[in-house]
Structure 1
Amino acid sequence: MLHKLFTAFIMLSVLNISAQKTLPIYLDDTKPTEQRIEDALSKMTLEEKIAMVHAQSKFSSPGVPRLGIPENWMTDGPHGIRPEVKWDEWQQAEWTNDSCIAFPALTALSATWNKNMSLLYGKSLGEEARYRNKNVILGPGINIYRSPLNGRNFEYMGEDPFLAGEMVVPYIEGVQSNGVAACVKHFALNNQETNRHGVNVIVDDRALYEIYLPAFKAAVQKANVWAVMGSYNKYKGLQGCHNSFLLQDILRKEWSFDGAVVADWGGVHNTKESIYNGLDMEFGTWTDGLTWGASNAYDNYYMAKPYLDLIKSGEVGTKELDEKIRNILRLIFRTNMDRNRPWGSFGTAEHAVAARNIAEEGIVLLKNKEALLPLDIKKYKKIAVIGENAIKMMTVGGGSSSLKARYEISPLQGLQERIGAEAEIIYARGYVGDASGNYNGVVSGQNLTENRSAEELKNEALKIAKDADVVLFIGGLNKSDFQDSEGNDRKELELPYGQNELISELAKVNKNLVYVNISGNAVAMPWEKEVPAIVQGWFLGSESGSALAAVLLGDVNPSGKLTFTFPVALKDNAAHAYKAFPGGDEVTYKESIFVGYRWHEKEKIKPLFPFGYGLSYTSFQYSDLKADKTKITPNDKITFSLTIKNTGKRDGAEIVQLYISDVKSSLPRPIKELKGFDKVFLKVGEEKTVTFTIDKEALSFFNDKEHQWIAEPGDFQALIGASSADIKAKINFSLK
């Protein structure tokens, strides 16, 4: 605290002196940013520069107090602002005012397919970070969903690079509108947690550029993201945090990124590679993120004293160091030294409403046989709620995105508050998954210790289910190790804790069974034909129970759609079909560009639930698909239009999806690829015209031989669908 006060005092002193005389150029925000950067750089000592390129605490790096340049303060995201830890320790600082609003996980956000929701999410999260005086949020995560076993998929935005790119841009814009930098992660190819610090990813250039890079490129070139975090894994034998191919050749040279490259905590392994290969800021070295750490550790960082010694010995120069400082100063001028940035707000009712709205729009109705949902509580007076996930807090755990939430409404609580005395709710746990509620010092306060046997729990659940009018089984995964959690991948596609057997038994005693899957990943559902209604409920944050109750009871019409494919079995996923996950010291992406729905369609494998899929309580009619031209040149754009009408009995929203198919190509291409989408809200009987405009970029593939994007002349098809597997209309056109 004294250190912060001293820094603030120095900065104010400089500003006061400057007001009386001539304001130094680097403090004069009327001057061009690049001129200010050069002026500040010219006034810094070698030691001050070295200090700025590495951490001084678990989550901060130094400024230059002598010059009034403030520190950088990072915070974990991307779903909420992490609670404070002690300066040199991971132990909780035990503040009483750092409990945040927990927002839905990014899988839920992407399932909204709503860019306005993404903007709201980013703006709200940025306000919370700004209020807590953080100038960099370590997120969002946009690594591609390659395997349903990746423990960190819940933090990402699905399997499709176009969708991830479209959704990440407004999120970043929302965060940065608060003068807080988004730090998009993990660049790149961080698609598994197994051996994440050491695995070397082997991937062909087509897959790299067509699947794994586009969302990052959109973050840089469309959203102008101010920071990028390197990944733990290796690519071409080099660590992601000091990888010249990724950070220099692609990020800086090809994409013209001008922000700061931040190392993931513990992601730096070599001083000279860090100097020359594009890293700007080193964090977390000498710690495993939980137990190791010493007050003098920061001097031993690869870019601290070892770097200084190399310069003083003449072995390396200062050109690279100056470039790092320019990037860091640019970050600071955009954030902490922007006097016009807003103040922010924290844990507010407004943010809670935003979290709930996002959660409601992200919930996906996967099955609804005989319209069991929405629940009619005039008809179903006795409701059995079964499953540990109906009561277990999900904001605690899962890795670095674990939060100290101001509150969390459980699914059971949400149902009880919504239904009140209109119907009777009886709860049974059914199984024991994880009784713990402590992660990294944040304690949920729940006591889920269970002394009854598995048989007793099952029998209790079956008894209340048999006597009930309807059963809501709320299960799935949790944020424990080897489930949806950083650091470990899942071991299987099956549901854990004997849930499959319990669900099948419940279906035998009560045909009115609704399964709500709480997870950030696809799961196997061998009982799918036995269960009439299935809902994908995600990790929904503080307002989880309220949002679920609103959809289950019909207060909100479900409008989310899947952003990744649910395979029937693990072998149906491309990475596992090739036995290419997780690998050992190396992993080869043998499936190349055929990830997710691209693979299922190529191999004609029917998924359990396809990409882009989601049902509604109302119905929609697609009609009158047109194109404004049938032949285009590479300099042209083509616009498709269609009419969408709500033909049901409820107001609701439909996600209209545009896919493009290259009829004949010189290189293998997917059968179709997503190139546009629009979420359309319609009242009963209302119809609207939806338009999509594309250019040659939507027709292009990456030619690895020529290392460039190519749009080949020939025939194409535009396909309009309600999902990747439900195409409503097609239209042909050609590129000259």
Structure 2
Amino acid sequence: MQKIILSAVLAAGLLPVSARADLPVYLDRSKPIEERVEDALSRMTLEEKVALCHAQSKFSSAGVRRLGIPEVWLSDGPHGVRAEFNWDNWDYANWTNDSCTVFPALTALAATWNPELSALYGKSVGEEARYREKDILLGPGVNISRTPLNGRNFEYMGEDPYLAGEMAVPYIQELQKNGVAACVKHFALNNQEKWRDNVNVKVSDRALYEIYLPAFKRAVQEGKAWSVMGAYNRVWDEHCCHNARLLNDILRGEWGFDGAVVSDWGATHDTKQAALNGLDIEMGSYTDGLATESMYGYDAFYLATPYLEMIKRGEIPESTVDDKARNILRLIFRTAMNTDKPFGSMTTPEHYAAAKQVAVEAIVLLKNNGLLPLDPAKYDNVLVVGENAVRILSDGGGSSELKAKDMFTPLEAIRETYGNGVKFAEGYRTGRPFFGWEEIIPDEILDSLHNEAVELAKKADVVIYIGGLNKNGFQECESTDRREYNLPWNQDKLIEDLVAVNPNLVVANISGNAYAMPWVDKVPAILQSWYLGTMIGPSMADVISGKANPSGKLPFSFPKRLEDNGAHHFGEISYPGIEIPGKGPQQEYLEDIFVGYRWHDTKKIPALFPFGHGLSYTTFKYGKAALSSKEMSDNGTITVTVPVINTGDVDGKETVQLYIQDEKSSLPRPVKELKGFRKIHLAPGQTTEVSFSITPDDLKFFDDSKHEWIAEPGKFKAMIGASSTDIRSTVRFSYK
């Protein structure tokens, strides 16, 4: 026992330098990390190395107690540190000190189009994870929003790989400065929850490399993520958590990843494949993500006793566990044994301020005929309608569920802004949040709530409708996808009836997904408000009242109809897939590279609201773009510059977007692709020059026949816009 304690003290750096003369290499932080890894590995038994590779509880894996190497503690994320669970079941431990700041969901973060806010977000959530002594935070999620029915889209960063990558990198970098590893998820092609455990995805290499992998690549190579989580689904007939091509060839071979691969809970299925194909830490097996392992025990995991026995029998090389142990030790030295990490902090005023700043910049003004903002001096007879005005939206949703220390609801904040005379009508009711099933509310209750709201709306000066989706099963919840594109619980009829009796209707819906708006032409003002976390109410009230000027932009397109989305155009084989006896669900990404705005542009199918769209309470005028040169060479760079002026009478922020169009190519390409953006703040009358550097990499597409990125000589357009369809200036250049 004394040796264990001494090793732990040495690892923590608590002894003076004079007492460290005979320090083992693995405990000496002055040594290069690879020397420490090899020294620790040389001292470990086979049993100890195998023990590193699988869970020892719901959210931890073993260290090496004999050597003073600590265990690894994980927590769900990525928009808050989840409450503590019991050691071996899915019941909450009922601690009194595990409440957190609920930060806006990652879709909201993406809607800010502000990498500086992403850095602040990562720093803040990292401080809370560090305070709770977590070594790995399970996030961020960078899967592409392929279909608006995906139950977990709210955890991701939109439909565009460039936007997702730009926002993920600073999050990861600042998170890990706290000595907490980011665990980038879900690698890869986890773009739906229906059949998530075994759907087999078939996708072209071109779509894989151009759409679904770039954000992961940037997270690894630029963000330097210390861990990656494998997905549940299959790709090319192999489960992602032991998929040789994804993990061995691409993640480690092509990208040089040196961190640990962690399985999603219950996503490991075979000992030999897990041993050979790149998985390091196996979590939650035999559970489908939910049940207890008690009937099996953690030693029965695929990478536990079965793995140990296969190594001893010579069926699997011992070198495989050495490689896994190296990756895990490297992770431990970066996190649990990192004595330079800060102390962390929890639910501080600074964190609440950060959460609010992100939330305010995330809100997207979709439509406004002049009704917004609502001046509190002019409106005192205000009616708020909608369950989401009072619902605690951190509840439910699966692994993203959070125990909020505080949750300031929209209704509370609106009453603080417009007075206690603000009236409220629920309008509809959804029931309690459950994982994988739903509570059915009787029709007579729904009808009564509907009628009450409409009657009150007749007497109000203005109605603020706060509905949308929530984190119930079959809405936006892990393990289930949405059943329909329209709003559930008869909300469309409720909105129609409200605007019929009161034309001063503001729809401020909350969701992490796009949805149909059959009432869009009748409603004068529409805000998209997302899951904004602890500070949801004050953020929404500030934007509605005009205290804050909205500056969010959509991180994905809102199709008019579900069939206008590329994933749904080709029928069930494309989404959700088709069950084939003996093979399970099979799915083909037939829209290929044409995801989101790429599909809408190329197929000439207008979106209801396009990617990158977002209005303001002021106006911005773009000048004519100018190029530093009209020709680019192989190693050259062209700068495109555009002046932007605030022509309105209030301060505002605008996101200037750069798209590139290849006028002619040997393979089909989208009409345009996002290659840059800048968020700027301008006072009334102020002008600024916005510049972008264009390199040959921005011109490339992936040629899957050659397995390489290619920029073909020819003519290109640099398109500067306020959204993917609102292009303000275009300039041409050639590449030779």
TM-score, reference length from structure 2:
0.96
Q: 2:266, 2:286 within 8 Å by CA — same for their partners in 1?
A: yes
Query: Which residue is 2:581 aligned to?
Result: none
User: For 2:568, which of 566, 570, 576 is the aligned residue?
Assistant: 576
Deviation at 1:429, TM superposition (A): 0.7
Distance 1:607 1:478, change over 3 A: same
TM alignment of 1:71-86, pairs within 5 A: 71-86=71-86
User: For 2:471, which of 467, 479, 482 is the aligned residue?
Assistant: 479
SS of the aligned residue for 2:175 comes to helix
Q: Give the Cα–Cα distance (whole angstroms) in 2 for the partners of residues 296 and 199 of structure 1.
A: 26
SS of the aligned residue for 1:163 comes to helix
Q: 1:632, 1:734 within 8 Å by CA — same for their partners in 2?
A: yes
TM alignment of 1:444-593, pairs within 5 A: 453-579=445-571, 580-584=574-578, 585-593=585-593
Runs of 4+ more than 3 Å apart: 5-10, 13-18, 437-440, 447-452
Q: Give the Cα–Cα distance (whole angstroms) in 2 for the partners of residues 453 and 330 of structure 1.
A: 57
Aligned residues: 723
Query: Which residue is 1:444 aligned to?
Result: none
Q: Give the Cα–Cα distance (whole angstroms) in 1 for the partners of residues 698 and 67 of structure 2.
A: 48
> Is 1:605–2:602 an aligned residue pair?
no
Query: Which residue is 2:377 aligned to?
Result: 378
SS of the aligned residue for 2:257 comes to coil
Q: Give the Cα–Cα distance (whole angstroms) in 1 for the partners of residues 343 and 208 of structure 2.
A: 40
Q: 1:205, 1:704 within 8 Å by CA — same for their partners in 2?
A: yes
Q: 2:435, 2:477 within 8 Å by CA — same for their partners in 1?
A: no
Deviation at 1:509, TM superposition (A): 0.3
Percentage identity across aligned positions? 56
Q: Which amino acid counterpart does residue 491 of structure 2 have in structure 1? A: Q
Q: Which amino acid counterpart does residue 275 of structure 1 have in structure 2? A: A
Q: Give the Cα–Cα distance (whole angstroms) in 1 for the partners of residues 377 and 162 of structure 2.
A: 44
Q: Which amino acid counterpart does residue 555 of structure 1 have in structure 2? A: K
Q: 1:476, 1:517 within 8 Å by CA — same for their partners in 2?
A: yes
Deviation at 1:7, TM superposition (A): 6.8
Query: Which residue is 2:42 aligned to?
Result: 42
TM alignment of 1:677-688, pairs within 5 A: 677-688=677-688
Q: Give the Cα–Cα distance (whole angstroms) in 2 for the partners of residues 448 and 542 of structure 1.
A: 28
Query: Which residue is 1:443 aligned to?
Result: none
Q: Give the Cα–Cα distance (whole angstroms) in 1 for the partners of residues 553 and 541 of structure 2.
A: 18
SS of the aligned residue for 1:693 comes to strand
Q: Give the Cα–Cα distance (whole angstroms) in 2 for the partners of residues 144 and 274 of structure 1.
A: 26
Distance 1:10 1:608, change over 3 A: same
Q: 1:565, 1:597 within 8 Å by CA — same for their partners in 2?
A: yes
Extract unaligned runs of 5+ from structure 1. Answer: 441-446
Could you list the per-position Cα deviations for residues 44-77 of structure 1 after superposition, in whole angstroms to 9, with x for gaps in the alignment? 0111001001010000011111111111100000
TM alignment of 1:346-361, pairs within 5 A: 346-361=346-361
User: For 2:428, which of 421, 428, 431 is the aligned residue?
Assistant: 431
Extract unaligned runs of 5+ from structure 2. Answer: 579-584
TM alignment of 1:12-27, pairs within 5 A: 12=9, 19=19, 21-27=21-27
> Is 1:654–2:646 an aligned residue pair?
no
Deviation at 1:449, TM superposition (A): 9.2
Q: 2:626, 2:640 within 8 Å by CA — same for their partners in 1?
A: yes
SS of the aligned residue for 1:453 comes to helix
Could you list the per-position Cα deviations for residues 202-255 of structure 1 after superposition, in whole angstroms to 9, with x for gaps in the alignment? 000100000000000100111111100001000110000000010011001100
TM alignment of 1:399-418, pairs within 5 A: 399-418=398-417
Q: Is the deviation greater in 161-170 or in 15-24?
A: 15-24
> Is 1:317–2:317 an aligned residue pair?
yes
Q: Which amino acid counterpart does residue 540 of structure 1 have in structure 2? A: L
Deviation at 1:418, TM superposition (A): 2.3
SS of the aligned residue for 1:529 comes to coil
Q: Give the Cα–Cα distance (whole angstroms) in 2 for the partners of residues 645 and 633 of structure 1.
A: 32
Q: Give the Cα–Cα distance (whole angstroms) in 2 for the partners of residues 720 and 457 of structure 1.
A: 47
SS of the aligned residue for 1:511 comes to coil
Deviation at 1:431, TM superposition (A): 1.1
Q: Give the Cα–Cα distance (whole angstroms) in 1 for the partners of residues 645 and 98 of structure 2.
A: 46
Deviation at 1:6, TM superposition (A): 11
Query: Which residue is 1:211 aligned to?
Result: 211
Q: Give the Cα–Cα distance (whole angstroms) in 2 for the partners of residues 40 and 378 of structure 1.
A: 68
TM alignment of 1:87-126, pairs within 5 A: 87-126=87-126
Q: Give the Cα–Cα distance (whole angstroms) in 2 for the partners of residues 240 and 532 of structure 1.
A: 46
Q: Which amino acid counterpart does residue 403 of structure 2 have in structure 1? A: K
Q: Give the Cα–Cα distance (whole angstroms) in 2 for the partners of residues 149 and 6 of structure 1.
A: 55
Q: Give the Cα–Cα distance (whole angstroms) in 1 for the partners of residues 440 and 514 of structure 2.
A: 26
Q: 1:229, 1:261 within 8 Å by CA — same for their partners in 2?
A: yes
Q: Which amino acid counterpart does residue 456 of structure 1 have in structure 2? A: S
Query: Which residue is 2:158 aligned to?
Result: 158
Distance 1:448 1:233, change over 3 A: closer
Deviation at 1:295, TM superposition (A): 7.3
Q: Give the Cα–Cα distance (whole angstroms) in 2 for the partners of residues 483 and 8 of structure 1.
A: 50
SS of the aligned residue for 1:350 comes to helix
Q: Which amino acid counterpart does residue 427 of structure 1 have in structure 2? A: F
Could you list the per-position Cα deviations for residues 537-568 of structure 1 after superposition, in whole angstroms to 9, with x for gaps in the alignment? 10010010110000000010000000100001
Q: Give the Cα–Cα distance (whole angstroms) in 2 for the partners of residues 454 and 689 of structure 1.
A: 53
Q: 1:10, 1:65 within 8 Å by CA — same for their partners in 2?
A: no
Could you list the per-position Cα deviations for residues 692-730 of structure 1 after superposition, in whole angstroms to 9, with x for gaps in the alignment? 012111100000000000000000000000000100000
SS of the aligned residue for 1:206 comes to helix
Q: Which amino acid counterpart does residue 418 of structure 1 have in structure 2? A: T
Q: Is the deviation greater in 209-218 or in 577-586?
A: 577-586
Q: Give the Cα–Cα distance (whole angstroms) in 1 for the partners of residues 4 and 199 of structure 2.
A: 41
Q: Give the Cα–Cα distance (whole angstroms) in 2 for the partners of residues 148 and 8 of structure 1.
A: 53
Deviation at 1:687, TM superposition (A): 1.0
Could you list the per-position Cα deviations for residues 499-557 of structure 1 after superposition, in whole angstroms to 9, with x for gaps in the alignment? 01111011110010011111000010001011000000100100101100000000100
Q: 2:88, 2:292 within 8 Å by CA — same for their partners in 1?
A: no
Q: 2:242, 2:273 within 8 Å by CA — same for their partners in 1?
A: yes
Deviation at 1:378, TM superposition (A): 2.5
Query: Which residue is 2:393 aligned to?
Result: 394
Could you list the per-position Cα deviations for residues 470-514 of structure 1 after superposition, in whole angstroms to 9, with x for gaps in the alignment? 001111001000101110000110000000111101111001001
Could you list the per-position Cα deviations for residues 292-327 of structure 1 after superposition, in whole angstroms to 9, with x for gaps in the alignment? 321751000000000000111122221111011111
Q: Give the Cα–Cα distance (whole angstroms) in 2 for the partners of residues 439 and 522 of structure 1.
A: 22
TM alignment of 1:640-719, pairs within 5 A: 640-719=640-719
SS of the aligned residue for 1:287 comes to coil
Q: Give the Cα–Cα distance (whole angstroms) in 1 for the partners of residues 700 and 237 of structure 2.
A: 29
Could you list the per-position Cα deviations for residues 126-146 of structure 1 after superposition, in whole angstroms to 9, with x for gaps in the alignment? 000000000100000000000
Q: Give the Cα–Cα distance (whole angstroms) in 1 for the partners of residues 671 and 359 of structure 2.
A: 32
Q: Give the Cα–Cα distance (whole angstroms) in 2 for the partners of residues 190 and 544 of structure 1.
A: 28
Q: 1:202, 1:236 within 8 Å by CA — same for their partners in 2?
A: yes
Q: Give the Cα–Cα distance (whole angstroms) in 1 for the partners of residues 723 and 20 of structure 2.
A: 64
Q: 1:620, 1:646 within 8 Å by CA — same for their partners in 2?
A: yes
> Is 1:174–2:184 an aligned residue pair?
no
Deviation at 1:624, TM superposition (A): 3.3
Q: Give the Cα–Cα distance (whole angstroms) in 1 for the partners of residues 94 and 33 of structure 2.
A: 39
TM alignment of 1:289-300, pairs within 5 A: 289-294=289-294, 297-300=297-300
Deviation at 1:451, TM superposition (A): 10
Deviation at 1:453, TM superposition (A): 2.5
Deviation at 1:414, TM superposition (A): 1.3
Q: Which amino acid counterpart does residue 23 of structure 1 have in structure 2? A: L
Q: 1:396, 1:438 within 8 Å by CA — same for their partners in 2?
A: no
Q: Is the deviation greater in 296-305 or in 519-528?
A: 296-305
Distance 1:237 1:532, change over 3 A: same
Q: 1:88, 1:295 within 8 Å by CA — same for their partners in 2?
A: no
